[in-house]
Amino acid sequence: MDVSAVLMGLLELCADAEKQLANITMGLPLSPAADSARSARHALSLIATARPPAFITTIAKEVHRHTALAANTQSQQNMHTTTLARAKGEILRVIEILIEKMPTDVVDLLVEVMDIIMYCLEGSLVKKKGLQECFPAICRFYMVSYYERNHRIAVGARHGSVALYDIRTGKCQTIHGHKGPITAVAFAPDGRYLATYSNTDSHISFWQMNTSLLGSIGMLNSAPQLRCIKTYQVPPVQPASPGSHNALRLARLIWTSNRNVILMAHDGKEHRFMV
pLDDT of 76:
54
Q: What is the pLDDT of residues 37-63, one digit of tens each?
A: 889 999 999 999 999 999 999 999 999
Reply yes or no on whether the pLDDT at 221 is more than 90.
no
Question: Taking residues 102-124, what's their average pLDDT?
Answer: 95
- Angle formed by the axes of helices 3-14 and 88-101, nearest 10°: 110
pLDDT of residue 20: 62
Show Cβ contacts of residue 252 under 8 Å, excluding neighbours closer than 6 positions: 142, 184, 186, 263, 264
Q: Is the dihedral of CA 154, 194, 257, 189 positive or negative?
A: negative
Mean pLDDT, rounded, for 68-78:
66
What is the domain partition of the chain in residue ranges?
A: 1-21+31-70+80-120, 123-274
pLDDT tier at 153, thresholds 50, 70, 90: very high
pLDDT, tens digit, 9 for 90 and up, residues 237-266: 888 766 555 668 899 999 999 999 999 999
> CA–CA separation, 257 vs 217, rounded Å?
28
Neighbours of 45 (CB within 10 A): 19
pLDDT at residue 24, as a whole number: 61
Q: In this prediction, what percent of the chain has a pLDDT beyond 90?
A: 66
Q: What are the CA-CA distances from residue 168 to residues 105, 119, 161, 257 (Å)? A: 29, 13, 22, 26
| pLDDT for residue 242 | 62
Cα–Cα distance, 145 to 195 (Å, whole number): 10
DSSP, collapsed to helix, strand or coil, labels residue 216 as helix
Distance of CA 186 to the CA centre of its chain: 14
pLDDT level of residue 226 (50, 70, 90 thresholds): confident
Q: Are 248 and 104 in contact (CB under 8 A)?
A: yes
Whether the CB-CB separation of 232 and 259 falls below 8 Å is answered with: no
Instruction: Tell me what the mean pLDDT of segment 89-111 comes to.
Output: 96
Q: Considering the chain, what is the average pLDDT of its residues?
A: 87
Q: How far apart are CA 141 and CA 39, in angstroms?
A: 31
* CATH code reported for the domain at 123-274: 2.130.10.10
